[in-house]
Amino acid sequence: MSNNISLTRYLVEQQRIDGHIPSQLRLLLEVVARACKGISQAVNKGALGGVLGTAGSENVQGEVQKKLDIIANEVLIEANEWGGHLAAMASEEMDSIYSIPNRYPQGEYLLLFDPLDGSSNIDVNVSIGTIFSVLKKPEGQESVEEKDFLQAGNKQVAAGYCVYGPQTTLVLTVGDGVAMFTLDREQGSFVLTEENVQIPADTKEFAINMSNMRHWDEPVKRYIDECLQGKEGPRGKDFNMRWIASMVADVHRILTRGGVFMYPWDKREPEKAGKLRLMYEANPMSWLIEQAGGAATNGKERILDIQPTKLHERVSVMLGSKNEVERVTAYHAKPN
Ligand code: AHM
Ligand code: MG
C-alpha cells in the first residue's frame, strides 16, 4: 500500500494533522528509528562483524549479556543523548537510569528500551528486535530520578519496536493506531507498509513456552489444555502453536495475523511476577496490541494500569486477540 511514505513524512503529517506529536517527540522517534537502522546493520553483519557471542558480563537481572546486547544499548544511547529531546533513558542492560550529560540540553521525554530483545536468538540467526517506550518527564523539576520513570503504561506517549528478521520492520504507535514501516536498504529509510493494523478478536494460534507447563498456575494450564484438546475439546476447534522466543517476533506475528502470546508467572521463581519486564517490554507491547484492537493483561488486570514500583519490575503477560485474552483472564478470576 505504501505510495512511498517515509517515516519522516508520516511523522510530519501526524504532527500537522493531529498536532499530537510535538516536534521534540517527532525528533525522538526519528532518532530511535535511525538507531534501529544502525542496530540492524550490526545484526546483519553477524559473524563477519565479529558481533556474535557473549560479552562476558551480566546485566542487573543476572542474565549473560551478548556482545550485540551491549552494542545495541550503546547505539541507542549515543544516538539519543545529544539531541535535546530527552531528560533520561533506562534500559534492560543498565542497572540504573542514564541521565542526559550536562554538556547537552535536556528535553522533556524519558526513553526506555530493551535494546535487543530475544537474546537467546542472536547467535542462531533468528529474528530479534528493539523495544521502546516513551514517557513524559514529570513537570517542574530539574533532575530526573528513577521514581520519575515509575509511571503506568497508560501514560506512554509513544511505543514501538523494530524487528530484525527477513525484513527490518519498525512498528509504532503514538496513540492513534498502529503503523508499520519496512526498511528500504537502497533508500536507507523506513517506508510505510501498513496502517491501522487490526488484530482479529478470535484466533486458533497460541504462543507459550510449553516446556514450562508443569510450573504454570491452574488457569493457564486449563486454557492451554483446552486448546490442545482441539476439535474434540470444549473449544471445538484445532489450535496451532508457535514460540519464537523473541517477544518482538511473536508480537509481530500477532499484529500481522492474530494469536495469543503468554509468558505467565510460574513456580520456577515464585517470588518473581514473571520473566518479562513491565516497563520496557510489556508496556510498549501492550499498548501496541490495544491500539490494534487486542487486549493485554497479567491474568488479573490490564497491564497498562499496573503502577510500577521499580524500574526492572517483572510481570506476567497475556496479550493478543481480544476474545482469547479475555478468556484466559476470566479463568484467573474464576479458576473452576
Ligand atoms: P531477553 O530480553 O533477555 O531477550 O528475554 C526476553 C525474551 C522474550 O523475547 C521471549 O518471549 C522470552 O524471553 C523467551 O524466554 P524463554 O527462553 O524462557 O522461552
Ligand atoms: Mg527482552
CATH assignment at residue 170:
3.30.540.10
Same domain, 108 and 224: no
Same domain, 153 and 211: no
* Domain end residue (candidates: 174, 195, 216): 195
Is the Cβ atom of 127 under 6 angstroms away from ligand 1? Answer: no
CA of residue 114 to ligand 2 center, whole Å: 5
Residue 200 is assigned to a structural domain of this protein:
no
Residue 118 carries which side chain, given as an amino acid letter?
G
Nearest CA to ligand 1 atom 16: 245
Same domain, 169 and 302: no
Same domain, 288 and 191: no
Residue 1 is assigned to a structural domain of this protein:
no
Residue 74 is assigned to a structural domain of this protein:
yes
Instruction: State the DSSP string of 137-206.
Output: PPTT-SS--HHHH---GGG-SEEEEEEESSSEEEEEESSS-EEEEEEETTTTEEEEEE-S----S--SEE
* Domain end residue (candidates: 154, 171, 195): 195
Nearest CA to ligand 1 atom 4: 118
* Domain end residue (candidates: 133, 168, 195): 195
Nearest CA to ligand 1 atom 7: 118
User: Which ligand neighbours the alpha carbon of 128 most closely?
Assistant: 1
Is the Cβ atom of 91 under 6 angstroms away from ligand 1? Answer: no
Cell of 10: 508520516
Write b or e for each residue in 280-297: b if 16 or more Cβ atoms lie within 10 A of its Cβ, otherwise e.
Answer: bbbbbbbbbbbbbbbbbb
What pLDDT is stored for residue 3 in this prediction?
67
* Domains of the chain: total: 2
Nearest ligand 1 atom, CA 249? 9
Same domain, 166 and 213: no
Residue 208 carries which side chain, given as an amino acid letter?
I
Pocket test for ligand 1, best of 61, 113, 119 (most atoms within 8 A of CB): 119
3-class SS at 313? coil
Same domain, 58 and 131: yes
Nearest CA to ligand 1 atom 17: 245
Q: How many CB atoms lie within 10 A of CB 65?
A: 18
Same domain, 162 and 49: yes
What pLDDT is stored for residue 49 in this prediction?
82
- Non-local (6+) Cβ contacts of 288 within 8 A are 159, 160, 161, 171, 173, 178, 251, 255
What pLDDT is stored for residue 2 in this prediction?
46
Question: Any idea which residue has 549479556 for its cell?
Answer: 65
Residue 2 is assigned to a structural domain of this protein:
no
Nearest CA to ligand 1 atom 3: 119
Residue 188 is assigned to a structural domain of this protein:
yes
- Non-local (6+) Cβ contacts of 155 within 8 A are 135, 136
Q: Name the nearest CA neighbour of 151 among 164, 174, 134, 170.
A: 134
Q: How many CB atoms lie within 10 A of CB 120?
A: 13
Same domain, 295 and 243: yes
Pocket test for ligand 1, best of 246, 248, 253, 260 (most atoms within 8 A of CB): 246
CA-CA distance, 246 to 264, in Å (whole number)?
Answer: 15
User: Which ligand neighbours the alpha carbon of 275 most closely?
Assistant: 1
pLDDT in single tens digits along all 336 residues of the chain? 446 899 999 999 988 876 779 999 999 999 999 999 999 999 999 888 887 888 777 777 777 788 899 999 999 999 999 999 999 999 999 999 999 999 999 999 999 999 999 989 999 999 999 999 999 999 888 889 999 999 999 999 999 999 999 999 999 999 999 999 999 999 999 999 999 999 999 999 999 999 999 999 999 999 999 999 999 999 999 999 999 999 999 999 999 999 999 999 999 999 999 999 999 999 999 999 999 999 999 999 999 999 999 999 999 999 999 999 999 999 999 856
Same domain, 129 and 101: yes
Pairing mode of beta strands 109-117, 86-91: parallel
For 119, phi and psi rounded to 5 degrees? -55, -35
Is the Cβ atom of 121 under 6 angstroms away from ligand 1? Answer: no
254, containing H or E segment: helix 247-257
What pLDDT is stored for residue 136 in this prediction?
97
Residue 264, domain CATH: 3.40.190.80
Residue 272 is assigned to a structural domain of this protein:
yes
Pocket test for ligand 1, best of 54, 263, 277 (most atoms within 8 A of CB): 263
- The residue range of the domain holding 88 is 7-195
260, containing H or E segment: strand 260-263
Is the Cβ atom of 52 under 6 angstroms away from ligand 1? Answer: no
CA of residue 244 to ligand 1 center, whole Å: 9
Same domain, 176 and 218: no
122, containing H or E segment: none
CA of residue 118 to ligand 1 center, whole Å: 5
Residue 16 is assigned to a structural domain of this protein:
yes
Q: Is the separation of the CB atoms in 92 and 72 below 8 Å? A: no
Is the Cβ atom of 212 under 6 angstroms away from ligand 1? Answer: no
CA-CA distance, 226 to 223, in Å (whole number)?
Answer: 5
Is the Cβ atom of 209 under 6 angstroms away from ligand 1? Answer: yes
3-class SS at 219? helix
Residue 110 carries which side chain, given as an amino acid letter?
L
φ/ψ region of 202 (left if φ > 0, alpha if ψ in -120 to 50, else beta) reads beta
Integer angstrom CA distances of residue 254 from 55, 103, 187, 324: 32, 43, 28, 12
